[in-house]
Amino acid sequence: MQKKLLMLVLAIIGIFALTGCWPGEIGVETVFENKAGAGTRTIVLDVMDDTLSQTAIPNPDDPDGTEDKGAVVNDKHITGGLSAIQTWLENNAPNFITVKPMRVEGYHRYFTLEYKFDDFDDFLTKYETLVNLSPTMSWSDFDATEKPTWTVSGNTATFKESKAIFEASIDWAIDGIYNSIYDAADLTGFVTKADISVFANYSVKVGDQTFEELQHYDPDAVDNEGTGKMIFVESEDFELTGTYPSNVLTIVLIAAAIVAVAAGGVIGFMMLKKKPV
């Protein structure tokens, strides 16, 4: 009897190995347009949808299928199908966030959130709001070394933030999707909230400099089931320094004023010379 039970358990585990969900891949791109820290942050959730493919979607950790990690099956794990994520975001995103139309490329669905900020103080205010929307974390949980900073010296600006606080700023969405529309289906007990998404890509632009840490496949990386796996964002902190151009208009106006003053002086001098004695 025990032997049959063990075989049944192994068979079930084998089924899980052959099919399974792949986490939604989260990417963030931030552009600071000027020294005041004004700009735009764009957050994209990339989810593979098996209903958009006529063939099985290979597991990204096993692209050749040599380790039998199984195909990606995601659609059945969202009540109403993956497009329901778009509706949930539109209904639940804070009012300063623009939820862009869902985009489909191949078997990928892209869900895009975007918000603009007038300066760095506005960026911090909106950042804090997002973190405080999390049901388990708050802005006060993070110390000064983890919170975003913006330092300006002349035409140079330096931006810093931590991986931990960015992940906290999107927890409201991950938690809401998991508790509202995620259906574990045959993965009940195997998948938690932490498993349905991964911080995959990071990009920031400050002045004339850009920093990126992007997902990639490492064939030599060792995971629990063999060799080769996707590598996502690993840095715990991000820092970038860039330079902004001088205000050309101000320089032109100052130069024009100097020329005008100089020209006025020359004209005055010439008039004095012509004045009869």
Distance in angstroms (rounded) separating the CA atoms of residues 273 and 48: 84
In this predicted structure, what is the pLDDT of residue 224?
72
Question: Which residue spans within 96-215 are E strands per DSSP?
Answer: 98-99, 103-105, 108-117, 149-153, 156-162, 197-206, 209-213
**Residue 122: predicted pLDDT:** 98
Q: At 256, phi and psi to the nearest 5?
A: -65, -40
pLDDT at 226 (0 to 100)? 76
- Give residue 185's pLDDT: 76
- Average pLDDT per consecutive 10 residues, the chain (277 residues; last block may be shorter): 39 43 96 98 98 94 86 93 98 98 98 98 98 98 97 98 98 98 80 95 98 96 83 98 78 44 45 47
Which residue type sits at 245? P
Identify whether the C-beta of residue 177 lies closer than 8 Å to the C-beta of residue 140. no
Query: Are 35 and 210 within 8 A, CB to CB?
Result: no
Task: Give me the residue label for tokens 């347009």.
Answer: 33
Cβ neighbourhood burial of 249 (10 Å; 0-12, 13-18, 19+): exposed
Identity of the residue numbered 56: A
